[in-house]
Amino acid sequence: MSVPSTARVVIIGGGIVGVSTLYHLAKGGWSDCVLLEKNELTAGSTWHAAGNCPTFSTGYGVMNMQRYGLELYRGLADEVDYPINYHVTGSLRLAHSHERMMEFERVAGLARHMGLEMAMCTPDELQQHYPFLELHDLEGGLWDPLDGDIDPAQVTQALAKGARTNGAKVIRFTPATGVSRENGEWIVHTEKGDIRCEYVVNAAGYYAPKVGEWFLPFGGRPVPAAVMSHQYFLTEPIPEIAAWSKENGRKLPLLRDVDTSYYLRQETSGFNLGPYERNCQTAWTRPDDPMPDDFSFQLYPDDLDRLEWYIEDAMARVPLLGTQGVSRNINGPIPYAPDGMPMLGPMPGVPNAFEAHSFTFGIAQGGGAGKIAAEWIMHGCTEWDMWSVDPRRYTDYTDKQYCIDKAREVYGHEYAIHFPHHVWPAGRDRKLSPNHDRIVELGGQMGAYNGWERANWFAAPGDDTSEEGTQTWKRSGPWEKRVREECEAVRDGVGVLDLPGFSRFSLTGDGAAEWLRGRIAGALPKVGRMALAYFPDARGRVLTEMSVLRHGEDDFTLITAAVAQWHDYEILKPAHAEGLALTDRTGEMTTLIVTGPDSRALFESLGDADLSLGWLTHQQANVAGKPVLLVRVSFAGELGWEIHASFEDMPAIYDAVLEAGARPFGMYALNSLRMEKGYRAWKVDLSTDYTLLESGLERFVRFDKPQDFPGKAALLSEKQQGSAKGFVTLIVEAEDCDAPYMANILKDGEIVGEVMSGGWGYRIGASIALGLVRSGLTAPGTELEVEIYGRRCKAAVQPDQPLWDPENARLRA
């Protein structure tokens, strides 16, 4: 096929994700789109993929993506008239521990929220589903009736046929060789000619880092990914399996022993065994092992020795596996992002460029990924909040070694339980506070936030600080006593939290104020003051939240969450087109939170600030002899200030604050304190799944201002017609665990909402859940239930005010 000179969208890469993106664009009416593949479709990871299709995920967004994709696959063959071998066999996940069963209960709750049914199983029920299963060491398991396997090549070709039928073009054996940019358009280069286009998509699979290099001159960054060697093998036919399938008219369910770390699936009348081994191997990461220019339809040499322990364990679990030999081994490359989640969304720093790559489970996720990528391109937003896969979640700390270390960690723990207080050890210490050594010396147990190391809690001598000690769902881990003490210190005296990594932007220039008014829902603060500002999208949903500090008529500092750095810079970047000066100053200053009823006395002893200035003011001052920006605000909900100072000055300030009597506290305590005040956290309580009004933020919306900010019409319509959901604070009669993210909220047994944040409030002595429920259920006193790892716990809606210090008297003191 000849290469067209123009297209609206060019997709680079012909695996299932690229083809699905093309299919969804064409189905959405964007027929002038082209996909370029260097070889044949599916020549990369897609062709050697096992093709397993689970709905299971511990993340709500990813489960939703998989749910949509598998529903698409079930009707795709008939829609496009292309045969697909798709076996919906159901699957079992085995649990060796009570903790694993609790994880399964949580995932089953996520599934119910989106209309899927998964069933918890006793060991005997597992054997009823899978008669060849040995039950030793099993606590139980989870049954997913919609799991199964699909032929990767067939489903990809079916999507390609659907794309072509709707007018899109698939051009094979035509490698893209580079990109350039001219007059606001992309030019994608090939040996057969150039294609000028509006949008370009990097869907190059494990070649995505190489394609990503083409975008470096246009604001791009090195793609954070590594390639892992994944093996699975197929056995010779097993007569007992053939007889069982003939008798039952179907295949055996797919089996996953997640605590041992493998899947076992029927393949014709034999088995397919695929372990995720701890002693895993990266590929193409050494100078003597470079990535080849073309690895289409190729595999690595067999390396079954590293699977020996997993094979033996699987044979003990299903003895039939050991009755026949290996017929074929597959050892191929799979891309891994540092967290094992795909890169799907806007390419950081690059206009009109998108990423759709690094899928470790591309077949299961490909259908949904195409929908999400197409929505980003066509509409500039997605139906569901998909921050968990947004490429902007990683910033400048993801060097090559970081990606290798994290890929090995994630692959080797592919099926690991993700406990709420567990911190993964690989790839650490990428960005350090100037106080880092002092904090560790004080007992700080660190966590990474956009690469920045912050103390989660402070251990005392003798406390259990092992990784094993964090592997629990309960709140009463080794940290619990110390977090309680830290909260009480903030409540009764004064605490200090070292907080490096706040995303910080300077916006100046004539018209800066008016530019901001046209993008936020509310009003700007006066000079010398600060305010929270919410940026809606066109639907009135919450894009982001920023603290706006106003230094002059058109001189602003904008502060936001650490992880939002690249995301929020993209929101502000259009200011450049108006001639305004926007500068990312995240790396220039760092922050301390000093808060508690004794904080004023502490500052009186350390500097020259005017401490009579009220809440939400800021000033230049000196603390411990160092120049600072002192801001009268506290996310902890007590009298307090933020100290913003240079990296070189902050160690002296921190030491002085400690010597003046402040107790160090960590992020776990801050999370408890902010929930007691009902303060929202970005991408936890605030996301593009909900509007500002649903999120309880109407007081930050000025409908009467003249500026037509994004989403104004949608929010006005919602205000007139009423919101579908409302934000509530719940007191929960929880037992030993607090409500996890996206836990179901029920009324009379019916799901009516979901939890955003859950945790223990140490000042009020109760378990708190912040969530959204059906609009008719937001009245104070409404009795509900919250589902916590399979248990239904009574909950009551609280008045629309903070649980702690509802009049904010302590804040304003």
Please say if the pLDDT value at position 566 is more than 90: yes
Give the mean pLDDT of 136-160. Answer: 98
What CA–CA distance (Å, rounded) separates 598 from 699? 30
Do 97 and 419 meet the contact criterion of CB atoms below 8 Å apart? no
Reported confidence tier of residue 288, pLDDT bands at 50, 70, 90:
confident
pLDDT bin (cut points 50, 70, 90) of residue 286 is confident
Backbone dihedral angles phi then psi of residue 472, each to the nearest 5 degrees: -150, 150
Give the pLDDT of residue 1.
Answer: 75
270, 107 Cβ separation under 8 angstroms: no
Which of 301-310, 469-478, 705-714 has the lowest average pLDDT? Answer: 301-310
Per-residue pLDDT of 349-399, as tens digits, reads 999 999 999 999 999 999 999 999 999 999 999 999 999 999 999 999 999
What residues have CB less than 8 Å from 610, skipping those under 6 apart? Answer: 619, 621
On the question of pLDDT at 20 being above 80, the answer is yes
- pLDDT at residue 263, as a whole number: 98
Place of tokens 């020795």: 305
Whole-angstrom distance, CA of residue 790 vs CA of residue 730: 18
Give the pairing type, strands 185-190 and 193-202.
antiparallel
Task: Note the pLDDT tens digit of each residue in 427-459.
Answer: 999 999 999 999 999 999 999 999 999 999 999
Q: What is the mean pLDDT of the chain?
A: 97
Q: Which residues contact 695 (CB under 8 A, 6 or more apart)?
A: 542, 680, 685, 686, 727, 772
Global pTM? 0.97
**Amino acid 675: pLDDT:** 98
- pLDDT number for residue 472: 97
Per-residue model confidence (pLDDT) at position 34: 98
Confidence grade of residue 463 (pLDDT, cut at 50, 70, 90) = very high
Token pair listed for 389: 């896969």
Instruction: Give the tens place of pLDDT for each residue, 794-806.
Output: 999 999 999 999 9
Q: How confident is the model at residue 157 (pLDDT cuts 50, 70, 90)?
A: very high
What distance in Å separates the CA atoms of residue 543 and residue 390, rounded to the nearest whole number?
13
Average the pLDDT over 405-424 and give the result. 97
- What's the whole-number mean pLDDT along residues 542-551? 98
Q: What is the mean pLDDT of residues 105-109?
A: 98
Q: How confident is the model at residue 289 (pLDDT cuts 50, 70, 90)?
A: confident
Q: Averaged over 170-190, what is the pLDDT?
A: 98
Predicted confidence (pLDDT) per residue in 699-733, tens digit: 999 999 999 999 999 999 999 999 999 999 999 99
The per-residue pLDDT for 159 is 98
Output the pLDDT for position 501: 96
Nearest to 11 by CA among 335, 382, 369: 369
Tokens of 588: 């220039």
Cα gap 656→662, rounded to integer Å: 9
Beta pairing partners, 747: 750
Residue 538 is predicted with a pLDDT of 97
Query: Quick check: 786 pLDDT over 90?
Result: yes
Vertex 140: Cα angle to 134 and 143 (nearest 5): 95
Average pLDDT over residues 46-59: 95
**Residues forming a β-bridge with 518:** none
Strand partners of residue 150: 86
| pLDDT tens profile 608-640 | 999 999 999 999 999 999 999 999 999 999 999
pLDDT at residue 287, rounded to an integer: 87
Percent of the chain with pLDDT over 70: 100
Res. 166 pLDDT band, cuts 50 70 90: very high
Amino acid of residue 787 = E
Q: What is the pLDDT of residues 515-533, one digit of tens each?
A: 999 999 999 999 999 999 9
3-class secondary-structure state, position 64: helix
Mean pLDDT of 143-147: 98
Mean pLDDT throughout 758-785? 98
313 C-beta neighbours (distance < 10 Å), count? 15
pLDDT of residue 795: 98
Q: What are phi and psi of 202, to 5 degrees?
A: -90, 100
Average pLDDT in the 63-82 region? 98
Task: Give pLDDT tens digits for 743-752.
Answer: 999 999 999 9
The answer to whether residue 601 scores a pLDDT higher than 90 is: yes
CA–CA distance, 161 with 182 (Å, rounded to integer): 32
pLDDT-derived band of residue 247, with 50, 70 and 90 as boundaries? very high
